[in-house]
Chains A and B, each alone.
Chain A
């Protein structure tokens, strides 16, 4: 326990200190974690901490990340990407692996080892690149999308690679491994069912597991989450989300498939579900922390003795690898017509080796494909190339993106992207707002946490996500960063005010339309920063008043103007009182507020006494004919002129 606390403290403090520093210098969080890892590695050595096993544990962050990536990817989008995915991704892996293999053979390695090295180096770092692209807001750019396609292909390609690598085993290494079996093993092999079954059973199990993920994801999540929702405990959702991801990962390990692929698939299946944002916001912090730990271990695992003893060789190999990969990517980007700054983002961004390289390397050692000593050198090359990635992004940002800025500005004019509207609450109020916005062709994201209602809405094809809009993380998952408007239509009065306060102070670019429950609530919302406040029963009451006037024999057009005058007066009064309202001072102690209220009450008393017209002076004025005196004065004036 003490050891665990110490370790947790070490990792956390290293991250908490190094990451903000790295961000401040524009290096990005990944480099921050790597530096943190390098900084604490002497302490970890001194404590005899098994960094590699922590790394295996932290690799689960990659699994979670792929789940989240899957959540963002609807099946249709995946289908639309198929050309890039297979073409760009397939060629990148194939060509890079081939070239690396040729070079390795030229350097005197047997073809089996050369091929294994080629496969290891063909992969790029999903974790670093996706994290960096997201942080820098480049994910939606052409270069970002192409990079994503390639990374996705690589992540999927790891699975057949893991199956293929053992076939390359060298007999002499196998004998060696037989003596010390299991030492460098992945750990989960012992749990695998597939070791003990025949080929067709294995195939059956694989198909069955994938089917279980797809069918279970489609049909089981909804009832499970409904069951959970009854308890109304937040942590239960987190627990369920974790259970889902870990359960799928476990299932995949048991049948000998990649957990990353399984969770990615589950993510894609759930991408259309109403629980998507809920899952996203629950998994996201775990993913972030685990990836942080993963990068720290990468930094800590760098063996400086080995590095400094072979500095020239390893540095040369690393730079050579980066140049080779970048060159392959550059050629591909020309073939696939990736233009301008995007071409460089794509070429430089994916030029490193990746975390799956580590996985594959330790697997090749375990499968007796690559000897231990060589693998250690290669590990260093992978780690060093990952360490250099943030530098490549900095080169892109500082030198290349700048030169293409004018081109991108021009393109931005043509993309008429309407920002999303987030609607919090899909009851009788939010529902109508949603229907109106959708009918006008705007994109909306609706959040509500009443499960029963959501399901009936889904039946009518209305897309609603489950979740409590008052949670910042969920708002984030729903896309508040890119949204242009938030409609607050939740029943909870205080909650609505808090939501308005949070969004108006943290996302000033978001226009807020809020529903107020009563007059007092208007003031609260106003002081929370909302300037477009709609009282939920006001318009219907006004219409009822107009109906009553008409039924009492008032001419319909007069009734209409009376009522319109009332609305205008009331709005003016409301605005004046709202701007003098201070939530921290009780209203009866707020002098300005009291003075203004008294003014309105006095005016109202005058009306009651019959000394003044009701409201509506503004609207009636235009229709008042000149008085007789006016007419006389005018004719007098005209006769003078004549």
Chain B
């Protein structure tokens, strides 16, 4: 069994269309850790020691957030700034995260066609997540293909909320039970609920 921790970051969770239901689903899954970052640190005073211990205790670190201005919500950025310390996460003696896996579960407001070189976002979604990908690499972690939902604002009208939330639950359970095919996942740029490489048996 892999030890999974989900870091959920959404300052406006009450107005969320998709993330709140994903968080609700994740919270209910047994034997994984779930952290609502904005609930733990409503005043932004992140406890570095506590967070570093959490990272030590888990194998798969999954960040769940909506894409805000092509990046993470600000508290998650603050978390990266102060928790991923020199000597802990990178640099001399900074090998505490080596061999672990970082994964993202993101929602994007724009439709999939917007995230192409011809679309109005001009770049594929994966490009906007490069900073996190490189962060993982610098910490000697595996960066696994993100689980994403496009057009999240319209999801309640297109009926995509339920399958996406259900896919999220299946994904987390598969990772926990070692049924997630990390290798197969690597071949995709971005994964949706229909394309999750989940095996029946571990």
Measuring CB to CB, which residues of chain A are less than 8 angstroms from any residue of chain B?
564, 568, 618-619, 621-623, 625-626, 630, 633-634, 637
Contact A564 B86, beta carbon cutoff 8 Å: no
Contact B86 A626, beta carbon cutoff 8 Å: yes
Contact A633 B92, beta carbon cutoff 8 Å: yes
Contact A637 B92, beta carbon cutoff 8 Å: yes
**What are 12 inter-chain pairs, A to B, with CB distance below 8 A?**
A564-B43, A618-B47, A618-B48, A621-B85, A622-B48, A622-B81, A622-B85, A625-B86, A630-B86, A633-B92, A634-B91, A637-B92
Q: A623-B82, A630-B86 are in contact. Are A618 and B49 (CB under 8 A)?
A: yes
* Interchain CA distance A626-B88 in the complex, whole Å: 11
Q: A622-B85, A626-B86 are in contact. Are A634 and B92 (CB under 8 A)?
A: yes
Residues of B close to A618: CB separation below 8 A: 47-49
The DSSP consensus for interface residues of chain A is: helix
Residues of B close to A564: CB separation below 8 A: 43, 45
Contact A568 B45, beta carbon cutoff 8 Å: yes
* Interchain CA distance A568-B50 in the complex, whole Å: 14
Contact B91 A626, beta carbon cutoff 8 Å: yes
Contact mask for chain B residues 183-199; partner A; CB cutoff 8 A; 1 contact, 0 none: 00000000000000000
B129 within 8 A of A: no
Minimum Cβ distance to chain B for residue A542 (Å): 13
Residues of A close to B163: CB separation below 8 A: none
The 10 closest A-B pairs by CB, nearest first: A622-B82, A633-B92, A626-B86, A634-B91, A634-B92, A630-B92, A621-B48, A564-B45, A630-B91, A626-B91
* Interchain CA distance A637-B47 in the complex, whole Å: 30
Measuring CB to CB, which residues of chain B are less than 8 angstroms from any residue of chain A?
43, 45-49, 81-83, 85-87, 91-92
* Interchain CA distance A146-B166 in the complex, whole Å: 44
* Interchain CA distance A637-B43 in the complex, whole Å: 38
- Among A622, A630, A633, contact of B83 (Cβ-Cβ < 8 Å): A622
* Most chain B CB inside 10 Å of its own CB: which residue of A618, A623, A625, A633: A618
* Interchain CA distance A621-B46 in the complex, whole Å: 11
Minimum Cβ distance to chain A for residue B75 (Å): 13
Minimum Cβ distance to chain A for residue B44 (Å): 9
Nearest chain B residue, comparing its CB with the CB of A619: B45
Residues of A close to B47: CB separation below 8 A: 618
Contact B81 A630, beta carbon cutoff 8 Å: no
* Interchain CA distance A634-B85 in the complex, whole Å: 14
Residues of A close to B92: CB separation below 8 A: 630, 633-634, 637
* Interchain CA distance A456-B32 in the complex, whole Å: 54
Minimum Cβ distance to chain A for residue B91 (Å): 5
Nearest chain A residue, comparing its CB with the CB of B91: A634
* Most chain B CB inside 10 Å of its own CB: which residue of A568, A618, A622, A634: A622
Minimum Cβ distance to chain B for residue A232 (Å): 43
* Interchain CA distance A634-B86 in the complex, whole Å: 10
* Interchain CA distance A33-B57 in the complex, whole Å: 63
* Interchain CA distance A526-B84 in the complex, whole Å: 36
Minimum Cβ distance to chain A for residue B18 (Å): 23
Nearest chain B residue, comparing its CB with the CB of A631: B91
15 extra interface residue pairs, beta carbon distance < 8 Å, beyond A564-B45, A637-B92: A564-B43, A568-B45, A618-B47, A618-B48, A618-B49, A619-B45, A622-B85, A623-B81, A623-B82, A625-B86, A626-B91, A630-B87, A630-B91, A633-B91, A633-B92
* Interchain CA distance A626-B138 in the complex, whole Å: 15
Residues of B close to A619: CB separation below 8 A: 45
Residues of B close to A626: CB separation below 8 A: 86-87, 91
Nearest chain A residue, comparing its CB with the CB of B93: A633
* Interchain CA distance A564-B45 in the complex, whole Å: 8
Residues of A close to B45: CB separation below 8 A: 564, 568, 619
Nearest chain A residue, comparing its CB with the CB of B87: A630
Minimum Cβ distance to chain B for residue A229 (Å): 41
* Interchain CA distance A637-B138 in the complex, whole Å: 13
Residues of A close to B87: CB separation below 8 A: 626, 630
* Interchain CA distance A95-B158 in the complex, whole Å: 58
Minimum Cβ distance to chain A for residue B43 (Å): 8
Residues of B close to A625: CB separation below 8 A: 86
Minimum Cβ distance to chain B for residue A350 (Å): 44
Nearest chain B residue, comparing its CB with the CB of A567: B45
Nearest chain A residue, comparing its CB with the CB of B47: A618
Residues of B close to A634: CB separation below 8 A: 91-92
* Interchain CA distance A618-B82 in the complex, whole Å: 10
Residues of B close to A568: CB separation below 8 A: 45
Nearest chain B residue, comparing its CB with the CB of A568: B45
* Interchain CA distance A456-B83 in the complex, whole Å: 52
Residues of A close to B83: CB separation below 8 A: 622
* Interchain CA distance A630-B90 in the complex, whole Å: 11
Minimum Cβ distance to chain A for residue B180 (Å): 30
Minimum Cβ distance to chain B for residue A34 (Å): 52
Minimum Cβ distance to chain A for residue B115 (Å): 32
* Interchain CA distance A622-B83 in the complex, whole Å: 7
Residues of A close to B46: CB separation below 8 A: 622
Residues of B close to A623: CB separation below 8 A: 81-82
* Interchain CA distance A622-B47 in the complex, whole Å: 10
Residues of B close to A637: CB separation below 8 A: 92
Residues of A close to B86: CB separation below 8 A: 625-626, 630
* Interchain CA distance A447-B86 in the complex, whole Å: 54
Minimum Cβ distance to chain B for residue A56 (Å): 61
Nearest chain B residue, comparing its CB with the CB of A627: B86
* Interchain CA distance A361-B48 in the complex, whole Å: 79
* Interchain CA distance A633-B91 in the complex, whole Å: 8
* Interchain CA distance A626-B91 in the complex, whole Å: 9
* Interchain CA distance A122-B117 in the complex, whole Å: 84
Minimum Cβ distance to chain A for residue B133 (Å): 20
* Interchain CA distance A467-B47 in the complex, whole Å: 43
* Interchain CA distance A630-B48 in the complex, whole Å: 20
* Interchain CA distance A564-B44 in the complex, whole Å: 10
Minimum Cβ distance to chain B for residue A556 (Å): 15
* Interchain CA distance A359-B92 in the complex, whole Å: 93
Residues of A close to B49: CB separation below 8 A: 618
Nearest chain A residue, comparing its CB with the CB of B88: A621
Residues of A close to B82: CB separation below 8 A: 621-623
* Interchain CA distance A564-B43 in the complex, whole Å: 10
* Interchain CA distance A623-B80 in the complex, whole Å: 11
Residues of A close to B85: CB separation below 8 A: 621-622
* Interchain CA distance A623-B49 in the complex, whole Å: 14
Minimum Cβ distance to chain A for residue B41 (Å): 12
* Interchain CA distance A162-B104 in the complex, whole Å: 79
* Interchain CA distance A238-B92 in the complex, whole Å: 76
Minimum Cβ distance to chain A for residue B97 (Å): 16
Minimum Cβ distance to chain A for residue B33 (Å): 22
* Interchain CA distance A625-B82 in the complex, whole Å: 11
Minimum Cβ distance to chain A for residue B47 (Å): 7
Nearest chain A residue, comparing its CB with the CB of B86: A626
* Most chain A CB inside 10 Å of its own CB: which residue of B48, B49, B81, B92: B92
Residues of B close to A621: CB separation below 8 A: 48, 82, 85
Minimum Cβ distance to chain B for residue A359 (Å): 58
Minimum Cβ distance to chain A for residue B78 (Å): 8
Minimum Cβ distance to chain A for residue B55 (Å): 14
Minimum Cβ distance to chain A for residue B98 (Å): 13
Minimum Cβ distance to chain B for residue A558 (Å): 15
Minimum Cβ distance to chain A for residue B32 (Å): 25
* Interchain CA distance A633-B46 in the complex, whole Å: 28
* Interchain CA distance A619-B81 in the complex, whole Å: 12
* Interchain CA distance A348-B82 in the complex, whole Å: 67
* Interchain CA distance A633-B93 in the complex, whole Å: 9
* Interchain CA distance A312-B43 in the complex, whole Å: 77
